[in-house]
Structure formats: structure tokens, C-alpha cells
Chains A and B, each alone.
Chain A
Amino acid sequence: MDLGEINPVLLVASLMVAATPLLLAAIGELVVEKAGVLNLGVEGMMIVGAISGFAISVETGSPWLGFIAAAIGGAVLSLLFVLLTQVALANQVASGLALTLFGLGFSALLGQSYVGVKPPSMGDIHIPLISDIPVIGPILFQHDPILYVGIALTAAVWATLKYTRVGLILRAVGENHDAAHALGYKVIKIRIMAILFGGACAGLGGAYISLIRVPQWTEGMTAGVGWIALALVVFASWKPWRALLGAYLFGGITVLQLNLQAAGVAIPVEYLAMSPYIITILVLVILSADKSSAPASLGRTFHASH
């Protein structure tokens, strides 16, 4: 065993990469749930985003266009969820599960001709001067642009929910849709926007896996990240910064446990393998000991006649 073999700078840098898909998907779902909608289709939207982004960036040679396509792909799939739950007033849990199943199969179909293809590389941003600072430089300032988009998005969602009128209306719809309706807010319209936003974020998260983290296309490659994102939103008590903390914690321990294994640390591997799940849940459960609770209308169907 030789802990000296673990380079802490590289460790922190790679934990941020490992956490980003989870963060993007979780932030999107957080907004959806704040609007009172439970969309269990995150995994499906992620994988569709992963293949749309991959396909478009391979065809056009531009990773940026790929990410835009991924966001659109995720949003288009979430449109299906909109039709089912907001227009046809179907059960949200069942519709979300269907969305995941559909997304997994549909992406496999779309991806048939992309197995084994290599995507164009996005490259990292090296900001002059500050990226050369020892330790801090490689950790904070030498990443791909999407990683920064994830953090910026967290900040934007937090600020919007907390300080703006739009955020207030969104929360009102999520807490009590009848009251919001009585005040004249378009409950369905607001929820549709939130669902589309969530779909776009999940799509971005999926494309981050297929274009940057892995990078390649393989069927089923999101391998459950969408479900972890869903759990993360609950454990983060619907608070953006806690979602970021949870994602970094989860990504960090995932990478750390692999590092510990490779360095030959004498902790049984089974414990290391389960540690990301346990530690993330523990920390967030302890944090959520305050009074924060789920949006009151979460998962309830709204119809103006009620």
C-alpha cells in the first residue's frame, strides 16, 4: 500500500468530471420537482441526450452543436412526458417509468451505427495565467467548458428560485397548484416549461458521459446515473447547492475508492464499492435534519376544473 501514489490534484480534478453528469441531471430534476412534477424518466432523457449529442457531434464535427442537440433531444423526449401527464393527465410515476424504458430502447435504436465511432474532442479551457497556478490551477481552471456550465447552472437555479419572481411563481405552483391557479398563474404552462428544462439538463448530463467522460457511444451507457440523480434531489432537500455537494461527494468517493483500490489500501473492496452510496446518503440525511420538506403538490395531477 502506498498512498503517495495517489495524486490529490488529479483526484480532485477527476472527481469534478465524475460528478458533472449527475449534477446536471439533478439540477434539472430539482426544478421539475419544485414545480410539483415528479419525472422518473431522468435516465431515459439522459441516454437519449447521450446519443443525440454523440450523433450530432460526430456528424458535424462540433462538440458544441452536439451538446445543443443533446439538450434538445432530452427536451423533446420530455415533451412526451408533458403530453402524458399535463395534457392527458396520466399518472406521473407510471409515465416517468415508461419514459425511461422508452428512452433506453429508443437510444439503442438510434445508436446502431455509432458503436465504435470516436467523437470529436472538446478540449479543455486553459485560462492563461490562473490555470498555471500550482494545485489550484489544475483543479479549478483546466476543465472542459461543460463542467463550468454545470456549476453556473447550479448558481443560476439557486438565485432564480430564491430571489426572482419567476422562482416564486414556480415554487407557488409546486406547493399549492390550486392556489396558484386561483391567483391567475398558468399552472400547466409553467409546469411544461419546468419539465422541458429538466429534460434539457438531463440530455446535457447524458451527453457529458458520451462525449467527455467516456467518450464513446455504448448502449445503456448511463448505467443508472439518472436514478442516482433522482435520489440525490430528495436527499438534497430540493436545494441546489446541496445537490452540488451531493454530486461532488458521490463522484468524489467513486473516484477515491478506485484510487484506494489501485494503491492497494487494505480496506475490503466491498466496503469501498458501496461507500459512495452510503456516505452520500448519510451526509445529506444529516444535512436535511432541518425542516425542509418536499413541495406539497409533488406528483399530484392538476386540472383547472378541480
Chain B
Amino acid sequence: MKFTTLLASAAMALGLASGAMAEDKTKVGFVYVGPVGDGGWTYEHNKGRLAVEEHFGDKVETVFVESVPEGPDAERVMTQMALEGADLIFTTSFGYMDPTINVAKKFPDVKFEHATGYKTAPNVSVYSARFYEGRAVQGHIAGNMTKSNIIGYIGSYPIPEVIRGINSAYIHAKKVNPDVEFKIVWAYTWFDPAKEADAATVLIEQGADVILQHTDSTAPQAAAQEAGNVVTFGQASDMSEYAPFPRVSSIIDDWAPYYIARTQAVMDGTWETANTWDGIREGMVAIGEITDAVPADVKEEALALKAAMAAGEYHPFTGPLKKQDGSDWLAEGETADDGTLAGMNFYVEGLEGEIPQ
């Protein structure tokens, strides 16, 4: 792909040359959808990779390829990694789901871990974080902070993970501000700073004074800063360079403990297919510092909400809730099951517009 890839391949070649010596090293590969310097999603995955290196030192060797498009090219990159002796490969974007399954079939001895997907195999695990818990906190703050009652939402692709986030944010914004309205724009990309900035600008021009994003770069933060009075939240990473305003809080993904645990499992020979879905309680989802731009009482409520989810006392999808078409979904006090959440393909009542199919 890039310069770093060249370096990585050169490193791989060297690694092969000295293969006899490095026989007992566990090799862990990472496939990234964006550049490691995106300041968001891929940046956090790479932090997890660096944590693995630091934790295991000489016993582990990591390789990564960045900016791999979701599609056939991903299959080529994974195959290459497997051929070069990787023992464990993390594929860190939803669109790598089928490529991961395909490549895993060809390399039964290599373990694969696919992020945010739902297809497993004897040597393919899936893992994801309950980002929607963080979205609940965001929605709560957003509903309180908006003056125009219009909240802009930059979606990436219409997949369950993103739809869950929209629903969760909407439910909690609506709870504190019944007049709130969501404007949703689908960018159809995970990473394209110019397009993300355009989307944010469009939403601001149409009256939004809070922007939530489910794309990976910090461009919407920059657009909001330019506009002056628009609130944003860090996505996937803290994005604290835009604190205390416009960025008033963030959802941080912490993959390091999981990556270390899974690498350890491969070393010990105890690796098994798993379906991991951890949230605030397990520490995979963290809420970045809520800045002083948020009123003290709102901040307190937000932290209480976070504490309730951490303690397992509160589920962001608790009834009574209806679907967008008015049909009943959850009865009073009922909480959503993981199966429904994992495949969520509907908006909750009150959201406008259709989900692209």
C-alpha cells in the first residue's frame, strides 16, 4: 500500500532470512482500514498493537498493513500475512468479514480475529465493543447541549453497529429533550477527511449545533471549531486536541487488554473461537473526560449514567421502546437481547428518514 508497507515487507523479508533464530516468536498481524495516524479508529487499534509488543517484548513480532480497502484487496493482504508466517491476524473493520472467512478456510492453522462482525469459524473469532453504551452518554449530553434542537449525525455505512449508535444516542437525547431532532448523513466511507468535513459543514448549515460522528478522522471536529458554536464528541479515540471545545467528551476504544489476552492464548495453545462483546464494565469502552463546557449538573448525570452501565444496572435499550414504524419492540422494563442488537436494522420511533438498504 504505502511506505510503511514497504518497511513492513522489508522487515518481513529480514524476518524470513533470520527465520531459524526467530522460530519461537509468535507473529501477530493487523489489517487496518485507515492510516495509523487517523487520530481515531485505526489509531486506537495500533495503540493496541503497540501494547502487545510492549507486553510480550521479544516473544512476539507484530506486522501491520494500513489503509487496506474493504474488498478483494483485503483478502490478498491477509493471505500474504498468513503465508509469511503470522500465527494470529486481527482484521479490524466490518467490511473485512467475508475476506477473513475466506482466507481463514485456506489457513486452518492460523487464528483470525475479526472486529465488529458476526461470522465465526473454527479459527475465526469475532470481537467488538458495546459502543452504544458510550453513545447513550453522548446522547444525554447532546440533548442537553443543543439549543437549536437539531443534532447532526455523520454515519459511515448503514450497518448494525452504526445504527445501534444512532438509536442509542437518539433515545437518550430524546429523554432529556423531547424536541430534539436528528439529521443523519451517510458518508459511505470510514475515512475521508474532506468528505467528513463537508458533511459536518452541511449539517451545521442546516441548523445542527451538535455533531456526532461515526467516521474515523478528526475532520468534523475541525469543521465544528471553524463554525465556532458547535459541540462535538471524540469518536473511537479521545481526540483531546479539540478539547475543551468543540469536543466536550468522547468514546474511547481500548483494545489493548483484549489483544494481549488473545495473543497470550495463542502462545499457550488455549485459543478458542469466541464471540466477545465487551462494554464500559469490562473497560473496552471508555468515556473521555467531560470538559467544563458541559454544565456541572449535566456532567454529573452523564457520569451517573456511565456508572449505572458499568455496574450492569442499566441497559441503554430498555423498554418501553417502539420501532420507527410505530410497532412495539420492547415492553416496559424489558431490555434488548444481544441477537437483536447485533443485527439491528431499524430505527427507533421518532427518528426520521430511511436506513439505506
Q: Which residues of A contact B (CB under 8 A)?
A: 5-7, 10-11, 14, 18, 21, 101-102, 104-106, 108-109, 111-112, 115-118, 209, 213-216, 218-225, 254-255, 258-259, 261-264, 266, 268-270, 273
Contact = CB atoms under 8 A, between A and B. Distances in A.
Ranked nearest first, the 10 interchain pairs of A and B with the lowest CB-CB distance are A105-B3, A219-B35, A116-B241, A269-B356, A219-B37, A223-B192, A258-B202, A221-B193, A105-B2, A216-B222
A263 B152 CA distance: 11
B206 A101 contact: no
A254 B354 contact: no
A115 B186 contact: no
A277 to B, nearest CB: 12
Nearest to B208: A262
B283 to A, nearest CB: 24
A215 B217 contact: no
Contacts of A270: 188, 356
B352 interface: yes
18 contacts: A5-B207, A6-B206, A7-B205, A14-B205, A118-B222, A214-B223, A218-B39, A220-B191, A221-B194, A223-B193, A258-B198, A259-B205, A262-B185, A263-B183, A264-B183, A266-B354, A268-B356, A268-B357
B355 to A, nearest CB: 9
Contacts of B185: 258, 261-262
Interface residues of B, number: 47
B195 A108 contact: no
Contact of B222 (A7, A215, A222): A215
B81 to A, nearest CB: 19
Given A209-B193, A221-B219, A258-B198, 12 more contacts: A108-B4, A214-B194, A216-B193, A218-B37, A218-B39, A219-B38, A221-B194, A222-B194, A262-B185, A262-B202, A263-B206, A269-B158
Most buried by B among A14, A101, A112, A115: A115
Interface of B: 2-6, 34-39, 67, 152, 158, 183-186, 188-189, 191-195, 197-199, 201-203, 205-207, 217-219, 222-223, 225-226, 241, 352-354, 356-357
Contact of B37 (A115, A261, A262): A115
B77 to A, nearest CB: 15
Task: Give the dominant DSSP class at A's interface.
Answer: helix
Given A14-B198, A225-B194, A254-B195, A218 B2 contact: no
Nearest to A221: B193
A116 B39 contact: yes
B243 to A, nearest CB: 11
Given A14-B201, A116-B39, A261-B186, A5 B206 contact: yes
